[in-house]
Amino acid sequence: MMLDASELPAGRTLTADLCIVGAGAAGITLALQLIDSGLEVLLLESGGMRPEAATQALYSGSVEEDRLHSPPDRYRQRRFGGTSTIWGGRCMPFDPIDFEPRDYMPHSGWPVSRDALLPYYRRANRLAEAGEFEYLAGPALGARCRPMIRDFASPHFSADTLERFSCPTDFGARYGHKLAAAKNVTVVLHANVVRIQLAREGERVESLGVRTLNGRAFTARAGQFVIASGGLENARLLLASRDVQAAGIGNSRDLVGRFYMCHLAGTIGAISIDKPLQDVYHGYEVDDEGIYCRQRLALRESVQREEGIGNFIARLHHPRITDPAHRNSILSLLYLAKPIIPYEYGKRLHGGVKADFATWLKHVRNVAAAPFDAFNFATHMVRDRFLAERKFPSIIMRSRANLFSLDFHAEQQPNPLSRVTLSERLDPLGMPQIHVDWRYTVIDVDTVKRSLALFAQDLSQTGVGRFEYDPDSVEEEVTRYGAYGGHHVGTVRMGTNPGDSVMTKKLKARFQQKFLPPPGAFYSGGQQCLFAASRGQRHDSAHAEFRGLLQRPLERIELNHRKQQRCAQRWLERRNFLQQREFNSVARNRINAAEPHLRSVAQFIELPRLRAKYSPKMMRGFAFHHRPLSRKLFNEKPPAHESYLRTKLEQGTERIAARLFFECGGSAVAFTVAAGRSSLRPA
């Protein structure tokens, strides 16, 4: 169901089991997974179905240095679908080394491993319509795989990894109809969350304050809250909610908004390949599913450790567009088309260079010198990009002389001095605007410098060509585009140590029921992120990697009285059979250890028999939660669960709920206990 907040009665209170703030890639994905789950889901979105200038202006803010960071209302879209409505579609997973603590990279090391995320990567790949989760060129492309540069055997770089490209998928347009049709999901448009209201003791979220641009105000209440507003807006909302915690929610150690990162990107140098034209290929291939894929040069992990530098990737690229000396009619056509190219692309294509009339005239002459090339290119872009459902990802120029520049992306060091704060200015809803102070470090520049030197060395030693560049210009190129694109990460980083993180590794703020999904949670940025793209996105692609963690059964969600009665009846019907079931020895030992304190409140289930007994519709929500859970979930011994349960039951004064998980005959089982009385339901 979809509602418009601007049409709701003022002062109304919306209630749900789970409230999600932000209908971008992360928020929509979570809501999709909870369809028919038995939970009432409320999804709040600031914008509408289309761009609205007044709503987009709510993203306005200031930056410390214009040269280093775009205005905060750029590269982000405040509407249903979020920035997935304009992203470029590039998809890559993080590399294993990105998760490792590295002594040469301060503040590095994630609290989760890449292996823990792999099952969710595969699902996210499908959701983004980027095909199979296969990012090695050989297995992905088969016979179509060809070397980027034949005979280039580099000891420092590999050329066998891929970038995959989504349609690009607009999550709002692609999945909005499913949310609108879902009986347990309510999407509220034009609902701007302006305040997170904590309970007086400051340990749980009581409600959200919501306002509309036409002056209406209402409240949202839920058992759990997920803040999925993007790397910048998540930090803004936490910092602006100061009623109970004076420094902002979760900011007692002044960490919210710090460690702000983007990708470092640039185009540099001149590459000359001394090989036949057919021995060099830097364009796109299409896999068996019709997905565009592109190989790139990636700095090997062993080299990163040996050199003490960050992650780095590069691609062969056309010469810089702004210089008419390239005498290429297509590049000059792109330069002349600058006024109609979106900002997010135009900044990268033109580097913010303001050319004089003489330069403009030279570009016109280039186009006039080869009008058929320009016409054919324009036809290709209209047919294969603007009109195609799966769009040709970017501009690829075939060089007739094997002359290229080098396009690179590099990892940024997590830096506590790079941060997002609140300014004194207020937006039309009364919220403080953000102030962005993005900074780079010596390590960032050194990563690029050393990587370029290694590439030049390898190209020369293998005898396939030359790479010429000015080492003294590297820092200028690194900062030419500043904090590149919409890859805003790190502002509410997760970790195991409260002294250097805002959230736990399960993406929970360091008090009760509030979750913060990526991208702000990212501990470090690597040179890539799933859904990282040239048009700016939410990773927010979102990030994507951690949706699986959010999909785990949510703790302490209380069922209403009718649901409690219905679920209890189902469980009791199965009691006799389940008492006779032979569980595996590990599960039986755990059950026996906890049985004395659970006998009065828990019965066990067996999924296949329940599926046979109840309707498919009833079981869809059950089946969502019944999936392999992390083994870590079961590592905690039953006595710890037992002690927790007994303590909560003895308090008896507050409506609380505890969830206990066991592995029973291969099935995930949950018991919900609320204030001394039991209510049982499928996990």
- The 3 state secondary structure assigned to 511-554 is CCCEECCCCCCCCCCCCCCCCCCCCCCCCCCCCHHHHHHHCCCC
Strands 667-674 and 285-286: unpaired
What helix, strand, coil percent values describe the chain, rounded to 5? 35, 20, 45
**CA–CA separation, 265 and 479 (whole Å):** 8
Expressed in angstroms, the distance from the first to the final Cα of the chain is 25
- Tell me, what's the pLDDT at 351? 55
- Tell me, what's the pLDDT at 330? 85
510, with CB counted inside 10 A (0-12, 13-18, 19+), is middle
- % residues pLDDT > 90 (the chain): 53
Contact between 43 and 186 under an 8 Å Cβ cutoff? The reply is yes
- Tell me, what's the pLDDT at 506? 65
- Tell me, what's the pLDDT at 381? 87
The pLDDT tens digits of the residues spanning 416-433 come to 999 999 999 999 999 999
Quote the strand ranges of 412-460, DSSP E: 419-426, 432-437
Strands 667-674 and 677-679: antiparallel
> How many C-beta neighbours within 10 Å does residue 553 have?
19
**CA–CA separation, 572 and 603 (whole Å):** 7
SS3 of 235-284: HHHHHHCCCCCCCCCCCCCCCCCCCCEEEEEEEEEEEEECCCHHHECCCC
- Which of 274-283, 488-497, 600-609 bottoms out in mean pLDDT, i.e. has the lowest? 600-609
Single-letter amino acid, residue 238:
L
Highest-confidence segment of 21-35, 243-257, 472-486, 661-675: 21-35
**CA–CA separation, 573 and 603 (whole Å):** 10
The pLDDT tens digits of the residues spanning 75-108 come to 899 999 999 999 999 999 999 999 999 999 999 9
**CA–CA separation, 16 and 186 (whole Å):** 9
- Tell me, what's the pLDDT at 501? 81
- Token pair in block for residue 643: 């002690």
- Tell me, what's the pLDDT at 137? 94
Contact between 277 and 400 under an 8 Å Cβ cutoff? The reply is yes
pLDDT tier, 325 (very low <50, low <70, confident <90, very high otherwise)? confident
- Tell me, what's the pLDDT at 577? 39
**CB neighbours of 627 closer than 8 A, spacing ≥ 6?**
668
**CA–CA separation, 26 and 19 (whole Å):** 13
- Tell me, what's the pLDDT at 378? 85
The pLDDT tens digits of the residues spanning 131-142 come to 999 999 999 999
**Distance, C-alpha 29 to centroid of its chain:** 11
Highest-confidence segment of 459-463, 484-488, 633-637: 459-463
- Tell me, what's the pLDDT at 622? 32
- Tell me, what's the pLDDT at 598? 37
* Arithmetic mean of pLDDT, 308-332: 87
- Tell me, what's the pLDDT at 420? 96
- Which of 14-23, 42-51, 175-184, 541-550 bottoms out in mean pLDDT, i.e. has the lowest? 541-550
- Which of 367-376, 509-518, 551-560, 607-616 bottoms out in mean pLDDT, i.e. has the lowest? 551-560
Angle between helix 357-369 and 371-381 (nearest 10): 90
**CA–CA separation, 268 and 515 (whole Å):** 41
The region, left, alpha or beta by phi > 0 then psi within -120 to 50, assigned to residue 308 is left
| Best CA proximity match to 485, nearest among 37, 201, 10, 83 | 83
User: 553: cis peptide before it, omega within 30°?
Assistant: no
pLDDT tier, 363 (very low <50, low <70, confident <90, very high otherwise)? confident
Whether residue 503 is predicted with pLDDT greater than 90 in this model: the reply is no
Contact between 467 and 456 under an 8 Å Cβ cutoff? The reply is yes
In the beta sheet, which residues pair with residue 669? 662
Highest-confidence segment of 481-495, 503-517, 611-625: 481-495
What domains does the chain contain, in order, with CATH numbers?
2-132+166-261+418-435+487-550 (3.50.50.60), 561-679 (no CATH)
pLDDT tier, 274 (very low <50, low <70, confident <90, very high otherwise)? very high
The pLDDT tens digits of the residues spanning 200-232 come to 888 889 999 999 999 999 999 999 999 999 999
Higher pLDDT, 353 or 395: 395
**CA–CA separation, 464 and 534 (whole Å):** 30
For CA atoms 518, 520, 523, 528, give the dihedral sign: positive
**CB neighbours of 181 closer than 8 A, spacing ≥ 6?**
none
- Tell me, what's the pLDDT at 554? 32
* Arithmetic mean of pLDDT, 564-575: 45
Whether residue 266 is predicted with pLDDT greater than 60 in this model: the reply is yes
- Tell me, what's the pLDDT at 456? 97
- Tell me, what's the pLDDT at 494? 87
* Arithmetic mean of pLDDT, 623-638: 32
The pLDDT tens digits of the residues spanning 168-196 come to 999 999 999 999 999 999 999 999 999 99
CA distances from 32 to 23, 53, 401, 567, 607 (A): 11, 28, 50, 23, 23
> How many C-beta neighbours within 10 Å does residue 210 have?
27
The continuous run of DSSP H or E covering 3 comes out as strand 2-4
The pLDDT tens digits of the residues spanning 570-618 come to 444 444 334 444 434 444 444 444 444 333 333 333 333 333 333 333 3
- Tell me, what's the pLDDT at 390? 94
- Tell me, what's the pLDDT at 509? 64
Whether residue 354 is predicted with pLDDT greater than 70 in this model: the reply is no
Mean residue pLDDT across the chain: 77
pLDDT tier, 656 (very low <50, low <70, confident <90, very high otherwise)? very low
Higher pLDDT, 329 or 304: 304
For CA atoms 105, 109, 110, 113, give the dihedral sign: positive
pLDDT tier, 406 (very low <50, low <70, confident <90, very high otherwise)? very high
